[in-house]
Amino acid sequence: MNGEAGNFVFSNCPSPFIIGKSSGFTYLKSIQVAKNVKLPKNTAGCDCRGNCVDPRKCACAKLNGSDFPYVHRDGGRLIEAKDVVFECGPSCGCGPSCVNRTSQRGMKHRLEVFRTPKKGWAVRSWDFIFSGSPVCEYVGVLKKTEDVDTLTGNEYIFDIDCLQTMRGLEGRERRLRDVSLPNGETIPFEESKPDSVPEFCIDACRSGNVARFINHSCTPNLFVQCVLSSHQDIRLARVVLFAADNIPPLQELTYDYGYVLDSVMGPDGKIKRVQCYCGGADCRKRLY
């Protein structure tokens, strides 16, 4: 990379392509939790058996507005982007094939990491992806944001900011209203302004999965969906990327990183600017 790839520079993150123990990179199937982060206890689930079918009876469906967020078609598709999707979890009575566990069944598309001329590595699928299908979870080490060293150029940090994700839906589904949580608590929209730094993040620098290679686009074909399955703390939600459209094989997979322009500072305290090479007709020209 080093200049050759536009504005993409090597960070201190190890290369996952060096095979062997010394590579310093670990492939993960599920999220790892840093020692000083405590996940909330599993919340009580639904008492359905087998598959959840009746949204009036299923306690998890009730959290989703008394409906199931997914349909069974094509291996499970999310009907529409939501503030948060409440899936069935470890305390639920239903089984693994329950439609309300759609994002928990692992990756079902054959994803390939490939090289781009200006953006470093990127990801595409060999298989057709139906709109609403889960593509992959952003996996890495769940950390406190304050514990992340931002000076080493780590480009694989995903801030868990479900409130911002809800707001950032912009054209797709902007919600200028208070955000309701299942415990009856309401977060006023004003309080959920993007200026506050999210408390937790997922660091995929040294351990992660293919999601760390997915680039930004101003006209993305994936979207970020916050998912809760074992607890109801949105600060620690799972981050799952879903298809925003039908995606033909070999089209690059991208999502909107959602940076507010001029919001990223370099180690010198000056605003950092990075050019966007997504190539979209409505490109904002800068990543941040």
Ligand X SMILES: C[S@@+](CC[C@H](N)C(=O)[O-])C[C@H]1O[C@@H](n2cnc3c(N)ncnc32)[C@H](O)[C@@H]1O
DSSP 19-70: -SGGG--EE-SS-EE-TT--PPPPPP-----BS---TTT-HHHHHTTSS-SE
| Near ligand X by CB under 6 A: residue from 111, 216, 242, 243 | 216
Residues 153-182 as x/- pattern, contact with ligand X by CB under 6 A: --xx--------------------------
**Residue 86 interacts with ligand X (CB under 6 A): yes or no:** no
- CB-wise, 17 or 146, nearer to ligand X? 17
CA dihedral 223→274→12→267, nearest 10 degrees, is -120
Size of the site for ligand X (CB under 6 A): 16
Residues 1-30 as x/- pattern, contact with ligand X by CB under 6 A: -------x----------------------
Helical H segments across 82-192, by residue range? 162-167, 170-173
**Residue 255 interacts with ligand X (CB under 6 A): yes or no:** no
**Residue 120 interacts with ligand X (CB under 6 A): yes or no:** yes
Query: Chain-centre distance of CA 252, in angstroms?
Result: 17
Residue/partner pairs of 75-79 with CB below 8 Å, 24 or more apart: 75/102, 75/105, 75/108, 75/133, 76/102, 76/105, 76/133, 76/134, 77/102, 77/130, 77/131, 77/132, 77/133, 78/102, 78/132, 78/133, 78/134, 78/225, 78/242, 79/132
State how far the Cα of 80 lies from the Cα of 78, in Å rounded to an integer.
Answer: 6
- CB-wise, 101 or 143, nearer to ligand X? 143
Please tell me what DSSP assigns to residue 178. P
| Near ligand X by CB under 6 A: residue from 164, 215, 221, 229 | 215
- CB-wise, 149 or 178, nearer to ligand X? 149
- CB-wise, 108 or 118, nearer to ligand X? 118
By CB under 6 A, which span of 17-25, 66-74, 120-128, 183-191 interacts with ligand X? Answer: 120-128
| Near ligand X by CB under 6 A: residue from 58, 212, 237, 242 | 212
- CB-wise, 87 or 203, nearer to ligand X? 203
Residues 28 to 47: which contact ligand X by CB under 6 A? none
Query: By the criterion CB under 6 A, which residues form the site for ligand X?
Result: 8, 119-122, 155-156, 212-213, 215-217, 276-278, 287
